[in-house]
Amino acid sequence: MSTLFEPWSLRSLTVPNRVWMAPMCQYSAATSGPDTGAVNDWHHTHYTSRAVGGAGLILTEATAVGPEGRISPADLGLWNDRQTEALTGLTRALRERGAVPAIQLAHAGRKAGTRPPWDGGGPLAEDEGPWRPSAPSPVPFAEGCRTPSELTEDGIREVVGQFAASARRALTAGFQVAEVHGAHGYLISEFLSPHSNRRTDSYGGDFAGRTRFALEVVDAVRAVWPDELPLFFRISATDWLAEHGWTPDDTVRFAHDLREHGVDVLDVSSGGNAPDVRVPTEPGYQVPFAARVRREAGLPVAAVGLITEPEQAAKILASGEADAVLLGRQLLREPYWPLRAAKELGGPPSVVPAQYERAY
């Protein structure tokens, strides 16, 4: 049987297979009232269908640690009791269907305060309740975007505290894995890259300064997250810029630091911090970044990016390029992909609801 369907022990947790669901924003939460930012029927259907479909670990979409950290007003959040209680039902449903519930904790930084993509994206208009985003430096993401306010050191400490508070709530809600979102040009990613971090204080400048905020967030989350449960970190391995950007060399160097600070798995993506860059997309185009981290930093990795076929996914693991694969849009197209993959690779799936066992 393919390594795809072998269990993997992370600290005291055993994930039933190596086919995982990548975090993908749904922009479907209520935008006002007591249910603002809370999961609803759409999210339950969306996530539990992938658990029924055989994914061993389900990473929920970027979940804001504070209202101002949302990408859009319709993002999920985890800063109040109502949001925590709503997530409790979802995590229970995922566990009952054999999947490990995982949450991605996020702050959108200078990319906050936009419309959902099907409403055109772009900054909220003045009559849509916009808020001024914050960032390491007052540099807008792109032309036409709001200029963010530069976070003060007090503001940085406040955001670090928000990540810790949301991690506590995630544990209360029943999540078994927490992931810190440090990719795609959102707040932590903005601090990491010299393209977006122009600070001259201890949170900018050299590599140590630019990575300081990220490590403070990791330390704060790890301090409240139980020792027996794993912590992930999502990173953009490169900004895809010719100069003055975050690079694959930086990622490998930073992976050593993350491992020392208690991160168990690096979720390796790329891009998102600079508009209009040319990304050479092809099947598995980000896998080499993950493979290099695994080889040179000794940190377990999950690979993501145009992984669409069972044989392709199986080969990534068999060749030692990654320890798990994260499927994104392929699982939007095909929620039961893991079940098909198990059949094509010649063995039983590792997660099948009792109601479906007679089909296997």
For the annotated catalytic residues, the residue numbers are: 186
Cα 55 to Cα 331: distance, rounded to the nearest angstrom: 9
Q: Is 83 left (phi over 0), alpha (psi -120 to 50) or beta?
A: alpha
Are the CB atoms for 248 and 189 separated by under 8 Å?
no
Extended beta strands in 162-283, E state: 177-182, 231-236, 265-269
Say what angle helices 248-260 and 287-297 make with each other, to 10 degrees.
Answer: 50
Q: What DSSP designation does 285 have?
A: T
20: helix, strand or coil: strand
Class of residue 213 by CB neighbours under 10 A (exposed 0-12, middle 13-18, buried 19+): buried
Cα 75 to Cα 66: distance, rounded to the nearest angstrom: 11
Sign of CA dihedral 71, 212, 204, 305: negative
Q: Which residue in the block uniquely carries the two structure tokens 């690779």?
A: 345
Residues 6 or more apart whose CB falls under 8 angstroms from that of 264 comprise 10, 11, 230, 231, 232, 300
Q: Which residue in the block uniquely carries the two structure tokens 């390594």?
A: 3
Cα 305 to Cα 287: distance, rounded to the nearest angstrom: 7
